[in-house]
C-alpha cells in the first residue's frame, strides 16, 4: 500500500510539472478550452461537468440539461453515456474548486489511477514490486492519456484496463478458481466497473474474456465458460444499468438515428494501424522530425492528436513478445504461443483498417468507429508480458532497482512533451477571461432565465459549421448560472427543426421578429462563423433599431439585446422532451 501511495504521489508531482499546473492560478485554467483543433470536444466534456455541478447529471436519471436547447430543454439521453458517475463526481467537485480546476483534476485522476491500477495488476500477476512500479509509472504517462486529455475525458479514463487484463488472464489460464473464491468475485467487480465506463473498453474487455473462455472450453469443458458468461453478464449489466435512460427515452419518444451518425468510412479513417504504435507524435522531445514527416505523409492520419505511440518501453516489450513468439513457432513447435501474443493478434485482427470491425460495419454495425483507441489495450498487455519475464530473471536487487528507475525515467522523457510554459497557459486564460467577462456582463443585463439565440446555427452533436467547432456555442454556458441558450438540443428530433426553419426566413427582420415571439432576449453571434465576421448582421440589426451590443474582450463574439414578447409561444407546440 505504501508503495502504491508513493507511486501516486510521484505521478501527481510529475503531472503538475508537465502540465504547468504548479500554482492555484494555473489550476483555474483548463488544459484545453476547445476553441481550435482536436480539442474542440473539450467544451462538450466540460458542459457535462457544468451540468453535473448544477445537479443535472445523475447516475441513472435521464440526462436533461435545462439551460440548453432553449426554448425547450436539451435531452442528451438519445445516445448512451455510461460514464455518468465520472461527470457527476467531477461536477460535484466543481462546486468546491471551480469548473476548470475540476476538469483538470479529472485528467490527473485518470492518469494517477492508471499508474496505481497497473501496479496492482502487475503484482497480482506475479511481478516484482520494483518492476511493477516502473510499469505503473510508464502506463500512467502513456501518450494516449496526454493526447486525449479533457476533450475525450471518457476515453482518458482507461485506468481500469490493467485490472480487466488480469481477469482475462485468469479466464484464459483457468485460474479463476471456485465460484465462491475471491478471484471470481474480484473479476465480477471489475466486470461491473468496466461496464460503467467507456463502452469501447467494455467491448474489448468482453472480447478478451470470451476469447479466453473459448480457449479453456477445449481444455476443461463448460465450467470456465459458465464463469466467463457470468463475467460478461455482469459487465453488460453495468452498462445497461448506466444507460437505462437511453433505452427508456427511445421507448417513450421513438428512436433517433440522426443523433449519432456513424458512416462506414470512419471505420477506415479511425482504424488502428500497426505503424502508428511505433511512430512518436510530432511533439516528441527528440524524434519530433520523424513524427512530423510521418503524419504529414499518411493519407489516413487516425484521430488527432496522435495517441497510439507505445513509447520506447512499449515498443521494446512488443518486439520482445514477437521474438519469443517467433522463436517458439520455429524452434519449439510443441509449445503454445504466449497468451499475450494471442491477445495482441486478436486486437489487431479486430481493430486494424479492414479488420473484423470493418467487416461488421459492412452489415451496418458502425458503433465502434475509432478502433485506433485499442492501442491502449496493447500497451499494458506487452508491458505486463515484459515485466513478468523480467521478474523471473536472476538479477541483483540493486541492479534491478537501478534498471527499473532508469526505465521509469526513460518512459517519462519519451512519453511526455515539453512542460507547458506560462505563456501557453496565459494564451488559454486570455480566451477564458474574455468569455467569462462577456458572460457575466450579459447575465447582469438580462433577467434570470432569459434565452439567448446563437448564430451561426449549429446542430448538436458532432456538427461543426464553417469556421467554428461543433461545440463552440457552449462557451458562455460554462460561465453562466441562469441564462438559457438555444444550442444543445438533440438533432434528429422534430421539435428541434425550428432553428433550420428559422434560417429560411426571407429577411433579418423576420428572423428577429420570430425570435422575439419565442421569447428570446438576445442574439449571440460568433464572428468566426461568417465570411464577413458578422459585420452584415450587426449593421442590419442596427438599422432595425437594435443598438444595444455587448462585445467580448477579444472581439470574437458579440451579443445584441432583443425585445422579447411578453407572451411568448413555442415553435412547435407543447414541450415533448
On whether residue 64 sits in a domain, the answer given is: yes
Task: Say if residues 489 and 571 touch (Cβ distance below 8 Å).
Answer: no
* In a domain? residue 107: no
Q: How far is CA 73 from CA 61, 66, 69, 448, 451, in A?
A: 15, 5, 5, 16, 12
pLDDT at 439: 97
* Helix segments in 363-445, DSSP class H: 375-392, 397-415, 422-445
Q: Does residue 452 sit within a domain?
A: yes
pLDDT at res. 247: 87
Please report the pLDDT score of residue 140 as a whole number.
Answer: 96
Mean pLDDT value across the chain: 91
Distances (CA, A) of 425 to 109, 110, 147: 20, 21, 17
Q: Which three cell numbers stand for residue 351?
A: 481493430
Residue 467 lies in a domain: yes
Give the up-direction half-sphere exposure of residue 224: CA atoms within 13 A in the CB hemisphere. 24
From the list 416, 432, 60, 386, the residue with the least C-alpha distance to 249 is 60
Question: What's the start-to-end Cα distance of the chain, in Å?
Answer: 49
Q: 132 and 24 in contact (C-beta within 8 Å)?
A: no
Asked if the structure places residue 340 within a domain, the reply is no
If phi > 0 it is left, if psi is from -120 to 50 it is alpha, else beta; for residue 338 that is beta
pLDDT < 70 regions, the chain: 36-38, 573-577
Report if residue 153 sits inside a domain.
no
Question: Cβ distance 149 to 107 under 8 Å?
Answer: yes
Q: What digits encode the pLDDT tens for the residues 219-238?
A: 777 777 888 999 999 999 99
Question: Which of 295, 261, 277, 273 shows the shortest CA–CA distance to 354?
Answer: 273
Report how many domains make up the chain: 1
Q: What pLDDT score was predicted for residue 573?
A: 46
User: How far, CA to CA in Å, does 573 sit from each of 149, 486, 487, 551?
Assistant: 41, 17, 19, 34
Closest CA to 550 of 465, 473, 440: 440
**Residue at 257 is within a domain:** no
- The DSSP string of 143-178 is HHHHHHTTTTHHHH--TTHHHHHHHHHHHHHT----
Inter-residue long-range contacts of 315-322, CB under 8 Å, 24+ positions, other chains counted = 315/277, 315/278, 316/386, 317/382, 317/383, 317/385, 317/386, 318/277, 318/344, 318/378, 318/382, 320/382, 320/385, 320/386, 320/389, 321/382, 321/385, 321/386
Q: Do residues 291 and 281 touch, judged by C-beta distance below 8 A?
A: yes
Residue 76: Cβ within 10 Å count: 27
Say if CB 536 and CB 560 are below 8 A apart.
Answer: no
Asked, for residue 522, whether it belongs to a domain, the answer is yes
Residue range of the domain that includes 427? 45-76+421-577
Amino acid at each position: 500500500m505504501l508503495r502504491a501511495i508513493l507511486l501516486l504521489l510521484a505521478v501527481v508531482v510529475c503531472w503538475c510539472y508537465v502540465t504547468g499546473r504548479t500554482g492555484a492560478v494555473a489550476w483555474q485554467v483548463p488544459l484545453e478550452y476547445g476553441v481550435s483543433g482536436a480539442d474542440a470536444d473539450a467544451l462538450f466534456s466540460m458542459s457535462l461537468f457544468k451540468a453535473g455541478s448544477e445537479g443535472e447529471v445523475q447516475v441513472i436519471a435521464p440526462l436533461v440539461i435545462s439551460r440548453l436547447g432553449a426554448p425547450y430543454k436539451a435531452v442528451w439521453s438519445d445516445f448512451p453515456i455510461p460514464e455518468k458517475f465520472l461527470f457527476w463526481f467531477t461536477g460535484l467537485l466543481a462546486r468546491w474548486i471551480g469548473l476548470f480546476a475540476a476538469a483538470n483534476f479529472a485528467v490527473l485522476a485518470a492518469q494517477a489511477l492508471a499508474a496505481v491500477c497497473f501496479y496492482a495488476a502487475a503484482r497480482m500477476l506475479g511481478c516484482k514490486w520494483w518492476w511493477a512500479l516502473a510499469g505503473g509509472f510508464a502506463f500512467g504517462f502513456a501518450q494516449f492519456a496526454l493526447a486525449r486529455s479533457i476533450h475525450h475525458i471518457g476515453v482518458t479514463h482507461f485506468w481500469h484496463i490493467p485490472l480487466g487484463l488480469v481477469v482475462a488472464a485468469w479466464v484464459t489460464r483457468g485460474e479463476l478458481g471456485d465460484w465462491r473464491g475471491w478471484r471470481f468475485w474480484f473479476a465480477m467487480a471489475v466486470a461491473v466497473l468496466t461496464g460503467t465506463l467507456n463502452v469501447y473498453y467494455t467491448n474489448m474487455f468482453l472480447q478478451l474474456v470470451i476469447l479466453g473462455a473459448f480457449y479453456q472450453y477445449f481444455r476443461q469443458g463448460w465450467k470456465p465458460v459458465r464463469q466467463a458468461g457470468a463475467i460478461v453478464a455482469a459487465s453488460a449489466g453495468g452498462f445497461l444499468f448506466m444507460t437505462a435512460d437511453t433505452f427508456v427515452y427511445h421507448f417513450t419518444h421513438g428512436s433517433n438515428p440522426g443523433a449519432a451518425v456513424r458512416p462506414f468510412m470512419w471505420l477506415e479513417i479511425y482504424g488502428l494501424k500497426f505503424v502508428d504504435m511505433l511512430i512518436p507524435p510530432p511533439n516528441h522531445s527528440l524524434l519530433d522530425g520523424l513524427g512530423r514527416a510521418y503524419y504529414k505523409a499518411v493519407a489516413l492520419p487516425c484521430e488527432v492528436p496522435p495517441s497510439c505511440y507505445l513509447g520506447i518501453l512499449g515498443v521494446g516489450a512488443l518486439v520482445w513478445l514477437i521474438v519469443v513468439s517467433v522463436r517458439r513457432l520455429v524452434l519449439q513447435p510443441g509449445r503454445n504461443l504466449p497468451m499475450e501474443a494471442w491477445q495482441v493478434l486478436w486486437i489487431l485482427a479486430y481493430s486494424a483498417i479492414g479488420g473484423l470491425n470493418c467487416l461488421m460495419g459492412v452489415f451496418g454495425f458502425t458503433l465502434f468507429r475509432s478502433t485506433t483507441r485499442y492501442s491502449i489495450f496493447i500497451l499494458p498487455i506487452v508491458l505486463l508480458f515484459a515485466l513478468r519475464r523480467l521478474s523471473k530473471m536472476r538479477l541483483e536487487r540493486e541492479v534491478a532497482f537501478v534498471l527499473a528507475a532508469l526505465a521509469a525515467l526513460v518512459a517519462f522523457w519519451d512519453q511526455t512533451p515539453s512542460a507547458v510554459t506560462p505563456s501557453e497557459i496565459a494564451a488559454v486564460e486570455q480566451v477564458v477571461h474574455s468569455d467569462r467577462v462577456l458572460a457575466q456582463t450579459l447575465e447582469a443585463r438580462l433577467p434570470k432565465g432569459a434565452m439567448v439565440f446563437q448564430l451561426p446555427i449549429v446542430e448538436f452533436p458532432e456538427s461543426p459549421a464553417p469556421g467554428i467547432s461543433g461545440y463552440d456555442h457552449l462557451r458562455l454556458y460554462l460561465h453562466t448560472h441562469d441564462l438559457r441558450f438555444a444550442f444543445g438540443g438533440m438533432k434528429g428530433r422534430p421539435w428541434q427543426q425550428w432553428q433550420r426553419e428559422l434560417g429560411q426566413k426571407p429577411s433579418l427582420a423576420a428572423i428577429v421578429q420570430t425570435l422575439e415571439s419565442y421569447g428570446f432576449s438576445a442574439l449571440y453571434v460568433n464572428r468566426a462563423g461568417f465570411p464577413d465576421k458578422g459585420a452584415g448582421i450587426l449593421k442590419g440589426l442596427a438599422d432595425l433599431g437594435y443598438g444595444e451590443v455587448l462585445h467580448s474582450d477579444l472581439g470574437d463574439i458579440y451579443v445584441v439585446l432583443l425585445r422579447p414578447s411578453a407572451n411568448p409561444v413555442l415553435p412547435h407546440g407543447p414541450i415533448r422532451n
